Amino acid sequence: MKEYGAESIRNVALIGHGGSGKTTLSEVLLYTAGVINRIGTIQDGTTTSDYSPTEIEKQISISTSLLNFEWNNSKINLLDTPGYADFLGDVKTAMRVCDTAVMVLKSAEGVEVGSETTGRFVNEFGLPSAIIINKIDNEHSTFTKTELQAKDRLSSGAIVVTFPVNEGINFDTVIDVVAMKAYKYSAVGSKKVTESDIPTELLQTAEKYRTEFIEKVAETTEELMNKYLEDGNLSSEDLDKGIKLALMKRNLSPVFAISASKAVGINNFLDFSSKYFPSPADRAGEEVLLKESNNKLLLKPDAKGEPVLFIFKTLSEQHVGELSLFKVYSGYVAAGMDLVNQTNSKSERLSQLSTLNGHNRTEAPKLLAGDLGAVVKLKDTHTNNTLTSKNLSVIIKPIEFPEAVIRSAIVPKAKGDEDKIASGLHTLHEEDPSFSVKFDPEISQTIISGQGELQLSLAVKRLKERYDVDVDLVEPRVPFRETIKGRVEDAEYKHKKQSGGRGQYGHVHFKMEPLARGKGFEFVNAIVGGVVPGRFIPAVEKGIIDTMQKGVLSGNEVVDIKVTLFDGTYHDVDSDEMSFKLAASQCFKKGFLEAKPVLLEPIYEIEVTVPEEYMGDVMGDISSRRGKIFGMDSDGHFQKIKAHIPLAELHKYSSNLRSLTQGRGGHKTHFAYYEEVPKEVEQKIVEEYKKSREEGH
């Protein structure tokens, strides 16, 4: 297999809204480059990059696929990412290792929410970018409108490189403003492209686009700008150099007119990307941390350097086991090489290395710096881990996955499946770290969280298919708190039991009062004259703490309370620690119920980002959830609404928000504080708790 140096590699991620045609485009690129001999379709479930049974069934990309092909002596590694909001974590994995992000837009629909979200990732990662306006063969195609929208909402550097001659269902020709030629594409599958002069009636439009393009390139450096102002043009050598530089400086985001389903405009895109898209060698290198000193080091993609690779994705393949996808940041890697996992200091042997086209693996004896590949069966290495030689202990900055926006509790349908479920959930988290799992001891539930309902329901489906375990998803319990608002000057309880032989005796008097929110628990020993002997005082405190943890009203933890033990009596023979612990527990319960007990609920701060036209609906919905809006900001075309909403009202909020805003709204939440539950809600919770106690649950 041919080896490619960093300067010959182009790592390109296809990103954008679901249904924009990224997978079809990937398929056509592979066909045009001669990797496959027939074009698969999503409808038939025959595409190279959507190969998992779930992707075929749902006809959407769920996981980022790695593909590769050669064009004009360059190796193009293509990352086909999901467009559905539930799988944003996978988009981030691709963004972390690519050198150019290509946004795919639908010509008729323009910039959609998925485009805006992933567009923000492009800026977050500081990536060079390009834009493909796809589906120009749609009868409602609006190339010019979409291109202007992209300039306004995605990148001011969005400048046309190819535009359509005959937009709509007969679309077969593009004009390339760099080459200043027209290119007519024959029937799909023929790979035939005919070059000709630009039709006279379109020459003015082509010259307008070309001038705009050259001006944008000339803006990149003072030297180019001066040459352009002097000559009114740039030489082809200066233009070539300038295009590459403008892309790297993110001054230019070239726009291409394409129909992936008709394979029109494909060669122009491939020629441009192989010639001008930055290679790993063109970019500055990767800033890494030296493990020992935490100092920063700039790691260049030099094939002669020490080997450093980064695992950006883990796949679990049937009949293969775990497959780790990686990028080589320095040196080279070869089968049989021993490396150290810098995250856990364990040694790993690289067995079989391969390049991927979907699930088709081609063995690769050696991969050089800048390249992407896969390795099977690493023992202790997972997503976000760095592997290096023993001579260079560095850590590559991990991928920061998006915060979870939905959570559910998992309930096994059969007893005894707990271990299998735990192990399965752990594997699913390894494969997709944006899906997380934790056991919450406070509510005694295993909570799974992620980016959306589809992601969570797929996790349940995979548990069934791979591990043969059935689970239900239920709304997680809310961790309420109990406290008091009143004071009790004297709560008293005497625990006395006589049952032949030695009895039990403990007698206490408490004063109970509320503490400020967040102050926890304070115990004061105010016993005078040894009426309760010192050795029993810790048992009294323990009795109170145990009862506080279990709760009195609703089975939830008691907080922010001060208890003073000021009196009591004891018996020389019958008193012991257990007697005083039991007396304290009962005395606390009695006093608590007399001291105006209340329930507190967790309130979350929520920040909702929505297009202006949905503001009224979203604000009405927040109010219906007992929410209080406390701030609003504008963010480009969006409005940000800040509010406080009880956690009990937030279950499945992400799905609701998507349906309210046609998928264009997003939100983040974090815990803010505890607040008193309204009386009618409290009553309901207390009654449910009593009922469950009576039923013996």
pLDDT average, residue stretch 39-64? 85
- 232 pLDDT tier (thresholds 50, 70, 90): confident
pLDDT average, residue stretch 462-488? 92
Q: What is the pLDDT of residue 318?
A: 66
User: Which of 300-304, 306-310, 419-423 is predicted least confidently?
Assistant: 419-423
What tokens appear for 598 in the block? 């209340």
Q: Among all chains, which residue has been given the structure tokens 């023979």?
A: 573
pLDDT reading at 405 higher than 90: no
Q: What is the pLDDT of residue 403?
A: 85
Domains and CATH numbers, the chain: 6-199+252-276 (3.40.50.300), 286-396 (2.40.30.10), 406-474 (3.30.70.870), 482-595 (3.30.230.10), 600-681 (3.30.70.240)
Distance in angstroms (rounded) separating the CA atoms of residues 228 and 218: 7
pLDDT average, residue stretch 580-595? 97
Q: What is the pLDDT of residue 94?
A: 96
pLDDT reading at 447 higher than 70: yes
Whole-number CA gyration radius for the chain:
32
pLDDT average, residue stretch 464-488? 92
64-97: per-residue pLDDT in tens? Answer: 999 999 999 999 999 999 988 888 899 999 999 9
Q: How many CB atoms lie within 10 A of CB 460?
A: 18
For residue 676, CA distances in Å to 110, 152, 601, 679, 680 come to 46, 46, 6, 9, 12
pLDDT reading at 356 higher than 90: yes
pTM value is 0.86
Give the residue among 228, 289, 11 at the shortest CA–CA distance from 128: 11
How many angstroms from the chain centroid is the CA of residue 33? 32
What tokens appear for 158 in the block? 């969005």
Task: Kindly report the backbone phi and psi dihedral angles of residue 317, in degrees, each rounded to the nearest multiple of 5, phi listed first.
Answer: -100, 135
Q: What is the pLDDT of residue 11?
A: 98
Give the residue among 128, 131, 142 at the shortest CA–CA distance from 14: 131
pLDDT average, residue stretch 353-372? 93
DSSP-H helix ranges across 102-219: 113-125, 143-153, 200-218
10-26: per-residue pLDDT in tens? Answer: 999 999 998 899 999 99
pLDDT reading at 506 higher than 90: yes
User: Which of 98-112, 337-351, 456-470, 472-486 is predicted least confidently?
Assistant: 456-470
Question: 610 pairs with which residues across the strands?
Answer: 639
- 526 pLDDT tier (thresholds 50, 70, 90): very high
- 319 pLDDT tier (thresholds 50, 70, 90): low
pLDDT reading at 697 higher than 60: no
pLDDT average, residue stretch 649-654? 90
Burial class for 121, CB neighbours closer than 10 Å (0-12, 13-18, 19+) = buried
Distance in angstroms (rounded) separating the CA atoms of residues 34 and 38: 9
pLDDT average, residue stretch 135-148? 96
Average model confidence (pLDDT) for the chain?
92
What tokens appear for 188 in the block? 């799909």
What tokens appear for 667 in the block? 């939100």
Give the residue among 228, 210, 231 at the shortest CA–CA distance from 219: 228
Strands 638-646 and 181-185 come out as: unpaired
- 652 pLDDT tier (thresholds 50, 70, 90): confident
241-300: per-residue pLDDT in tens? Answer: 999 999 999 999 999 999 999 999 999 999 999 999 999 999 989 999 998 888 999 999
Q: What is the pLDDT of residue 8?
A: 96
Burial class for 512, CB neighbours closer than 10 Å (0-12, 13-18, 19+) = buried
Q: Among all chains, which residue has been given the structure tokens 């590559």?
A: 396
User: Which of 20-29, 32-41, 314-323, 435-444 is predicted least confidently?
Assistant: 314-323
Higher local confidence (pLDDT), 637 or 305: 305
- 541 pLDDT tier (thresholds 50, 70, 90): very high
- 312 pLDDT tier (thresholds 50, 70, 90): very high
pLDDT reading at 325 higher than 60: yes
pLDDT reading at 59 higher than 70: yes
